[in-house]
Amino acid sequence: MSAAPKTNLAGLTKERIESFFVGLGAKAFHGRNVLKWIHKHGITDFAAMTDVPKALRDTLDTCATIELPHIALAQPARDGTTKWVLQLADGQHIETVHIPDGDRHTICVSSQVGCALNCSFCSTAQQGFNRNLDVAEIIGQVWLATREIGRTPTNVVMMGMGEPLANFDNVVAAMDLMQEDLAYMISKSRVTISTSGVVPALRRLAEVSDVSLAVSLHAPDNALRDQLVPINRKYPLEELIGACREYVARDHRRKVTWEYVMLDGVNDSIAHAKAMIRLLQGVPSKVNLIPFNPFPGTRYRTSPPDTIEAFRQRLRRAGIISITRKTRGDDIDAACGQLVGKVHDRSRRQLDRIPVVAETPR
């Protein structure tokens, strides 16, 4: 007879770890202390948790574990960005990116192995969908980043591999831990979920979370968006815009960040900019224009800088704050839409040449 599987405490929110401890006949506050050891102090060994009574630690050894992903490969880019290829317990790989910018340390977190949404300009889509990440695998990316950079990240963006709203419960629990005072204590304005527009899930999110919202728009009309972001066929722009408007209406300081990839000759004309201005009328908005990051086999090219600037100026004249997102980490395929989550050929070659960050036992 095999023993019951151990509970991975790294994936439990404050409420869940409290009830787990109460279920063991222990006090809830011991659960909160363990949560702090894991996420505030980076400790994964029960023996090192000095304020947990010895008898309770012995019990934990029999029924609980603290499992986090491992770094298989660390790829530093010339601009200071680092991409970590993480290995999960079942041997799958995902990618996490650290983007330093002065005092700001942004971690770009993955939510799924692969992605099912098949956006035509995204390299993660090529890989297809494999599975959802569990809570420990999502928050584990923040845990590892904290250890590697030696401080708590200032910002987290759910903009890595996968569609976060398609892995709703696990992503919401992990974002709770990012915001939790006993864990990473990152404020709601600095935790951002990015979605391609899973409208029913976005409406549910409004009921349970207050993180910042970014939406992958990429086209100002349904005909073009149907091609670029196929989930638009299910949830067209009218529905998406309505749900976004409601999401930010709860707080008058809030805006939707619209991501818009600039594809040469596809969605980058002044006519597209004007259509976008009409579309976003009355929605508190800011726009991030993302120069397309090419990958092998793609049929798209990035718009010329002048075209991007003209587009941006047209939005600005209409009063829409817009910035052109700096492309970061493109020499290591860590830029938007370049995360493919496997140690591909190029990385394998680099395994020989660049420092591999081995798991350091704590």
Residue with smaller CB distance to ligand SAH, 30 or 225: 225
State yes or no: residue 122 binds ligand SAH (CB under 6 A): yes
- Which residue among 108, 119, 122, 336 is the active-site one? 336
Residue nearest to ligand SAH according to CB distances in the complex: 337
| SS3 (DSSP) at 230 | helix
| 209 lines the binding site for ligand SAH (CB under 6 A) | no
Query: Is 95 a residue of the active site?
Result: yes
Which of 145/215 has CB closer to ligand SAH?
215
**Helices and strands, counts by H and E, the chain:** 12, 14
Separation of alpha carbons 228 and 226, rounded Å: 6
Measure the N-to-C terminal CA separation of the chain; round to a whole number of Å: 33
Q: Which stretch binds ligand SAH (CB under 6 A): 82-90, 121-129, 181-189, 268-276?
A: 121-129
Contacting ligand SAH within 27-56 (CB under 6 A): none
Amino acid at 122: C
Distances (CA, A) of 42 to 45, 47, 67, 182: 9, 13, 12, 12
Residue whose entry in the numeric block shows the structure tokens 């708590």 = 152
Binding map of ligand SAH across residues 171-200, x = CB under 6 A, - = no contact: -----------------------xxx----
Catalytic residue, chosen from 18, 67, 95, 246, is 95
How many CB atoms within 10 Å of residue 29? 11
Task: Between 77 and 159, name the residue whose CB sits nearer to ligand SAH.
Answer: 159
- For ligand SAH, the binding residues in 248-277 under the rule CB under 6 A are 259, 261
Q: Answer yes or no whether residue 216 interacts with ligand SAH by CB under 6 A.
A: yes
- Beta strands 191-195; 155-158: pairing state: parallel
By CB under 6 A, tell whether 330 contacts ligand SAH: no
Taking the C-alpha atoms of 204, 210, 216 and 219 in order, what is their torsion angle to the nearest 10 degrees? 80
Closest CB 76 distance from ligand SAH, rounded Å = 21
- Residue 336 catalytic? yes
**Cβ burial, residue 64 (10 Å; 0-12/13-18/19+):** buried
Query: Which residues of the shown chain bind ligand SAH in the complex (CB under 6 A)?
Result: 119, 121-123, 159, 163, 194-196, 216, 259, 261, 290, 292-293, 336-337
Residues with catalytic roles: 95, 336
